[in-house]
Amino acid sequence: MDIHQIEVALNSPNSNERLKALTELRHYNPEVAVPLLTSKLQDPEFVVRSFVAMGLGKKQTDASFSALLNLMKSDRDPNVRAEAANSLSLFGPVAASHLIESFQQDEHWLLRRSILAALMDMEYPEALFDVCIYGLVDKDLTVKWAAIDGLSYLAGSGKQNDALQQLLALADSDEWRIRWRVARSLSRFDEPQARDALNRLKQDEDHRVVGAALESLL
């Protein structure tokens, strides 16, 4: 599609046409694509706004960064906020403080899991550790589980010992799913404390925890 065709499609009442146009913008440079992407920030369809967020992450300019921040903080749909967070992470360390702030302020599980996953792929252990600490006290169990997984990514980093201490404190949790995830996460830590905890977990009352501990000890 040429630019004129894309502009026409972006204004179509058919959301599928708008989605097609947004996808076609991948072939254009940021100077052309970003203004057209940002023209649909207020589109009534959340799927269209999600496509906008994805597109902006691949066309990195100051304007796309600012637009993504606005989407992550203000969009009414958590799917869009989560997609915006993921795209912001592609900008690297400059996005980390904003991701942490949104994790602290927005309690929706989808956004929080998106931020955790994004930070696991970024080489910024301080930021990942900070959001994991918040995630560990989340009321949503899936966020808590993701935070435990996130701590395992800190093995070998400057936050390794801090992460290990958090995992060790959870090894005695009353919830078997927590102990199971801890057992899996401890496999990344080549430390005597981690091995001692795994040796205790292989005696756990739940066979699933035992299995995870034994596998981690291999």
206, 147: one domain: yes
Owning domain of residue 67: 1-90
The answer to whether residue 65 is domain-embedded is yes
Task: Give every CB contact of residue 78 below 8 A, 6+ residues apart in sequence.
Answer: 108, 110, 111
Helix (H, G, I), strand (E, B), or coil: what is residue 113?
Answer: helix
**Does residue 205 belong to any structural domain of this protein?**
yes
- Which has the closest alpha carbon to 202: 149, 189, 187, 191? 187
58 and 131 co-located in one domain: no
In a domain, 9, yes or no: yes
Contact 54, 34 (CB under 8 A): no
Mean pLDDT of 49-78: 98
- DSSP helix/strand/coil, 122: coil
Span 5-49, pLDDT tens digits: 999 999 999 999 999 999 999 999 999 999 999 999 999 999 999
**153-166 pLDDT per residue, tens:** 999 999 999 999 99
Q: Whole-angstrom Cα distance, residue 48 to residue 45?
A: 5
Whether 102 and 122 have beta carbons less than 8 Å apart is answered as: no
Residue 123 has pLDDT above 90, yes or no: no
What is the pLDDT of the chain when averaged over all its residues?
Answer: 97
In this prediction, residues 64-93 reach a mean pLDDT of 97
Do 81 and 135 sit in the same domain of this protein? no
- Give the chain's domain count: 2
**Separation CA 131–CA 113 (nearest Å):** 10
**What mean pLDDT comes out for the span 50-66?**
98
Q: What is the CATH number of the domain that holds 76?
A: 1.25.10.10
Task: Average the pLDDT over 160-188 and give the result.
Answer: 98
206-216 per-position pLDDT tens digit = 999 999 999 99
